Amino acid sequence: MKNIKTTILSNQEVSPDYYRMKILAPGISDLAQPGQFVMFRAQATDEPLLRRPFGIFQTGTLPSDCDGLPDKEFVEILYKVVGRGTAIMRELHEGDRVEVLGPLGRGFELADDGREQILVGGGIGLVPLYMLASELVKKNKVRLLIGGRSRKDVLMVTEFERLGVETYVSTDDGTLGEQGPVTQVLERKLSKFPDAVVYACGPMPMLEAVFRICQPRQVALQVSLEAFMACGVGACLGCVVKGAGHSEQQPHYLCTCKEGPVFRAEELDWELLEKRVNEGEHSHE
């Protein structure tokens, strides 16, 4: 885990409102595990004040510009512009100074013991699944079910296919792939491969629906959650979710930043998560 001041290597639009940014990150890049994230800030000002959490899309090395200099180890993030912080990020260019803290949190456990591997991504939720897929394809058949509101919200399909992942696209409005929720594809796949393991990341209502499908079938499920974060390291206790068995008398809170963001489904209290969804929290993707 490192806190570094560094520079941007590239920042490109991939679809309207979606960008991918490569950041020079020696010391972070080599430690990162699939499902981990970084806390990012563009500038040392009070506005916006807090760093923003972003999943690690991939890590890698670029050859250095000059002979004799070390290769450039990078972390790549993929983000959607939704507010003040991400609006500033979209304006950044190669060479701009930024600060990155990471890699943070607990990533995915690889359940790559020969079972079918199914990844489910909703919108920007596909970010942590790419690094996961790159690991899983080494030993397994991997399928990605990817959903979004519309064509523009379905990203990186060719990148996943290049890894050898079989992809299934669905959109709410039918502008790309089949029309309907990604969970309808999941139900079909699970009837065909009842022993599959599932990894999911996306908006809360989608995760909730994925859980409702996996639970009765006793399918092993890991989910990656989002929460408002201030510190990202377990110090502020601002990002907690209710764990399984939580009650007023015996409270059981888990830090999304430290004990997550990836949880095994059985670690969480889904009744309470469901309540949050119905209250309309986390409506953005």
Partner 1 sequence: MSEMLLSAGSTADGPDLAVEFAGLRLKNPVMPASGTFGYGEEYSPYMDLNRLGAIVTKGLSLRPKAGNPTPRIAETNGGMLNAIGLQNVGVDAFVEQKLPFLKEVQTPVIVNFFGNSLEEYGQAAQRLSQIDEIAAVELNISCPNVKRGGIVFGTDPGAAAEVVSLVRRHFNKPLIVKLTPNVTDITVIARAVEEAGADAISCINTLTGLAVDIRRRRPRLANGTGGLSGPALRPLAVRMVYQVVQAVSLPVIGVGGIMSAEDALEFLIAGAHAVQVGTANFVDPAAMINIVDGLKQFCQEEGVAGISELIGTLRC
Ligand X SMILES: Cc1cc2nc3c(=O)[nH]c(=O)nc-3n(C[C@H](O)[C@H](O)[C@H](O)COP(=O)(O)OP(=O)(O)OC[C@H]3O[C@@H](n4cnc5c(N)ncnc54)[C@H](O)[C@@H]3O)c2cc1C
The footprint of ligand FMN (CB under 6 A) covers 236, 238
The answer to the question of residue 54 lying near ligand X (CB under 6 A) is yes
Which CB atom, from 154 or from 219, has the smaller least distance to ligand X? 154
Q: Which helix (H) or strand (E) holds 75?
A: strand 72-80
Residue closer to partner 1 by CB (options 81, 230) is 230
Q: Does 237 bind ligand FES (CB under 6 A)?
A: yes
Determine contact, residues 93/22, Cβ cutoff 8 Å: no
Pick one of 195, 251, 266, 284: the residue that binds partner 1 (CB under 8 A).
Answer: 251
Min separation Cβ 180 and ligand FMN, Å: 42
Residue 78 or 110: the one with the smaller Cβ distance to ligand X is 78
Report the residue number, 176 or 231, with the smaller CB distance to ligand FES: 231
* Residue 103 in contact with ligand FES, rule: CB under 6 A: no
Closer residue to partner 1, CB minimum distance, 207 or 241: 241
Residues 126 and 54: beta-carbon distance below 8 Å: no
> Which phi and psi (to 5°) does residue 29 adopt?
-55, -45
* Run of H or E including 271: helix 270-278
Instruction: Assess 50 for contact with partner 1 (CB under 8 A).
Output: yes
Which amino acid appears at position 264 of this protein? R
Return d(Cα 228, Cα 123) in angstroms, integer.
18
Site for ligand FES (CB under 6 A): which residue of 127, 201, 239, 262?
239
Number of residues located near ligand FES, criterion CB under 6 A: 13
**Which residues make Cβ contacts (< 8 Å) with residue 97, sequence separation at least 6?**
5, 6, 7, 43
Please give the residue whose beta carbon sits closest to ligand FES in the complex. Answer: 257
Strand intervals (E) in 149-252: 166-171, 178-179, 197-201, 221-224, 240-242
Nearest approach, Cβ of residue 152 and partner 1 (Å): 23
84 contacts which partner out of ligand FES, ligand FMN, ligand X, none, CB within 5 to 8 A by kind? ligand X
By DSSP bridging, strand 221-224 and strand 240-242 are: unpaired
Q: How many residues bind partner 1 (CB under 8 A)?
A: 35
Pairing verdict, β 240-242 and 253-255: antiparallel
Residue number, nearest CB to ligand FMN: 236
CA dist list (Å): 168 to 100, 125, 190: 33, 15, 14
Q: Is 228 in the site for partner 1 (CB under 8 A)?
A: yes
- CA proximity to 195, closest of 168, 218, 212: 218
Q: Summarize as ranges the residues that interact with partner 1 (CB under 8 A).
A: 1-3, 41, 44, 46-51, 99, 101, 227-241, 248, 251, 253, 258, 276, 280-281
Q: Summarize as ranges the residues that interact with ligand FES (CB under 6 A).
A: 229-232, 234-239, 255-257
